[in-house]
Amino acid sequence: MDQYLLISSTDHFDSGNINNFYYLALNLKLQKNNVKLFFLQNAVFSLRKNIPNFNSISNLISSDIPIYVDDFSLKERGLGKENILEGIMISHLDFIIEQLLTKTKVIWHS
């Protein structure tokens, strides 16, 4: 079983292929891999409540894929925990560095 960290930095409205990135996460999970997602920069907008991308993110959460969001990116965009979906964990960029120090494979979608 491999470990993957998938990082997204682009808002889903700016990226026509973000759903493919989410499907990649789901497929890796279905193949019994340990998968985590981390959202930063404009990608944090994709985690807001009541937006069209809601079902894609909800599918990831219901598949037991941990989703982390950068606290600084949220603050810079005027968002807080109350604005994002339930089940999203607020974290720091240090989380990415910690993952890089392990045997985690990192895939960055920008």
Report the DSSP beta bridge partners of residue 7: 38, 108
pLDDT at position 2 over 70: yes
- What is the per-residue pLDDT across 13-41, written as a single tens digit (0 to 9) for each? 776 778 888 999 999 999 999 999 999 99
**Could you tell me the pLDDT band of residue 5, with boundaries at 50, 70 and 90?**
very high
The CATH number of domain 3-109 is 1.10.1740.10: no
pLDDT tens column, 54-91: 578 888 989 999 999 999 999 999 999 999 999 999 99
C-alpha to C-alpha distance for 106 and 93, rounded to whole angstroms: 14
Contact 84, 74 (CB under 8 A): yes
Distance CA 102, CA 71 (A): 22
110 vs 32, more confident: 32
